[in-house]
Structure 1
Amino acid sequence: MVCSQTNPDGARDVPGRTHDGLLLLARLLLAAALLPTGIARALNVSGFALTLAGTGLPSPNLVATAAVVVQVFGPLALLVGVLPRLTGLGLGGFAVAMAVLLHPFWQFSGPAAVAERTLMLADLGLAGGFLLYAATGPGAWSWQGWRQGARPQPRPTAARAAAPKAASRGKRPAGRSPTRAAA
């Protein structure tokens, strides 16, 4: 899904470079939040499994392996812009699940509870970003945009912008020959 902007006269425009640039920047920042941790966990899956076992989670090795796969390949899919709805929903669900599993602030008191609550809210904020990505899509500067042929549209020059106005007033634009009717 691609958002569009509206002109003052109510006509819809193709999204501009700024829109696509912001979507690319958002994808880069969201991926940067997960990918380094995913790589670190991939290098020490057994340590992450021990952390999950400490929460009482059944099958911590299986869950740790699945989490590492999601945390490495999800951000890569996000960077490239493939399957945005599936990627956004999957990473959003992953962020919520990890927030609840790894940051149970209600089990702590004092400064530890504040720190765990802050980490949990940060993970929930990431989940919100992933859900926004699922709703808006990756933009034209992505694999999906390239596949759909969504190329950034050039801005109209003064001559191109003046031509439709002249035609609407009954005048012929300068530099064009009149068309002749076939006999």
Structure 2
Amino acid sequence: MTGRTQDGALLLARLLLAAALLPTGIARALNVSGFALTLAGTGLPAPNLLATAAVMVQVFGPLALILGVLPRITGLMLAVFAVVMAVLLHPFWQFSGPTAVAERTLMLADLGLAGGFLMVAMTGPGAWSWQGWRQGARAQAKPASARTTTPKSAARPKRPAGRASTRAAA
């Protein structure tokens, strides 16, 4: 795959993964207390604190993912978030019949998202991201003379083995 094609595919993947979380994160941000009630229904301690933290991750994580800011940390954080939320919000083992099937499907979808986030964490965001732009800016900031000079050890010719230096002989 060429560099531009790979960078485009990584950007598309980041956009699609972010699209899976960002709308829900915004909706939960507009009704944090309702989300806290949902978490309280699962028996979690401090549901208000957890709801606020989850909303922050679910809004700022996808934004960081889209931009490519700290992609490895962001990908790992979102993968852990997706797994934890899948287990907490979709306990299919507690249900039977069609409800269990629906909850299992939602849990597997969340686990699939976690896999996508792990892939982003392992591959990086590509050149079409904040990190790619910064790496390109650093490469251009180096002076041309620094990139073309050879190290001093490579510029000096090596003595043939077994031959003593003139200083050692004197």
Instruction: Say yes or no: does 1:89 pair with 2:76.
Output: yes
Calculate the TM-score normalised by the size of structure 2: 0.79
Q: Measure, in 1, the Cα distance between the counterparts of 2:99 and 2:47.
A: 24
What is the CA-CA distance between 1:118 and the residue it aligns to? Answer: 0.1
User: Please, which of 35, 39, 48 is the counterpart of residue 48 of structure 1?
Assistant: 35
User: Please, which of 130, 136, 151 is the counterpart of residue 149 of structure 1?
Assistant: 136
Q: Measure, in 2, the Cα distance between the counterparts of 1:85 and 1:22.
A: 17
Calculate the TM-score normalised by the size of structure 1: 0.74
SS in 2 for 1:68: helix
Specify every segment of 5 or more residues in structure 2 that has no aligned partner in the other structure, as ranges: 138-170
Q: Measure, in 1, the Cα distance between the counterparts of 2:119 and 2:3.
A: 19
Q: Measure, in 2, the Cα distance between the counterparts of 1:143 and 1:85.
A: 13
Q: What letter is aligned with 1:64?
A: A
Q: Measure, in 1, the Cα distance between the counterparts of 2:3 and 2:20.
A: 26
RMSD (Å), alpha carbons: 1.0
Q: Measure, in 2, the Cα distance between the counterparts of 1:16 and 1:143.
A: 17
Q: Which has the higher helix share?
A: 2
Give the ranges of 4+ consecutive aligned residues of structure 1 lying more than 2 Å apart after TM superposition: none
Q: Measure, in 1, the Cα distance between the counterparts of 2:40 and 2:116.
A: 28
Number of residues of Structure 1 aligned to a counterpart in Structure 2:
137
* Larger gyration radius, structure 1 or structure 2: 2
Identity rate, percent: 87
